[in-house]
Amino acid sequence: LVSSLLGHVHQTSSLVSVHPLPRLYAPEVGDLLVGQVVSVHSHRWDVSIGSAFPGQLALSSVSLPTGDQRIRTAEDALTMRAVQREGDYVTCEVQQVTQSGGCALHARSARMGRLRNGVVVRVPGALVTRCKSHHFEVGSTTVVLGVNGVVWIQRTIPPIEGGKVETFEAVDEGRRRHEATPNDPEVVKEIGLVKAIVGLLVKCFREVTKETVGGAFRRCEEMG
């Protein structure tokens, strides 16, 4: 037998499988990522995304808290750590890839930016495929699948109250309330369940998708 992958051989009875060796993430334009801020520089953040080089998230490539579309000022540069600081997890998108393998990121969408009140699970990048939607809800949780093999699980942010139009300001207000409100025990339990499901899928070397996570979650609910 000849495997198409280079990795560790595992044999269970007559079943032989090859678990591929860990590999670095190779960024592609349009990939949705979950990364961790490792340093803050003048007018940019360096974000660890599991590739050979950290991604660069420019100050001009993130939305301001007010949603204003304007040129960033020196005052904005001085308050960058109020937006996101070292150690924060962020969701962003690859905007440009350089010949050397580095990449420029952006987080202009209201659904992107700093992540709070959740947990991160690292999975082999091969188990997260590129698809139409990398955000989906499972129970009372929201799952963000990073193509770089980082999965974020958090409490679902409640919909905008009072029939308000879903403007950037309204969405940002909801995110701020989410950050300021601690998770209740039931939500923590559900987050832990979804995290365990993702870990089990990885152990079985199954793709981590909306269908596999959601199907396993419904099965757990049926079993009580």
The yes-or-no verdict on residue 84 having pLDDT over 60 is: yes
Task: Identify the sign of the CA torsion 161, 165, 170, 174.
Answer: positive
Structure tokens at 102: 């580095």
Mean pLDDT of 213-224: 88
* Cα–Cα distance, 130 to 148 (Å, whole number): 10
pLDDT one-digit tens code per residue, 96-129? 999 888 999 998 887 788 898 899 999 988 888 8
Lowest average pLDDT, out of 66-80, 93-107, 179-193, goes to: 66-80
- Band of the pLDDT at 223, cuts 50, 70, 90? confident
What pLDDT score was predicted for residue 171?
67
The helix/strand/coil state of 147 is coil
pTM attached to this predicted model? 0.81
Q: Are 51 and 24 in contact (CB under 8 A)?
A: yes
pLDDT of 143 > 80? The answer is yes
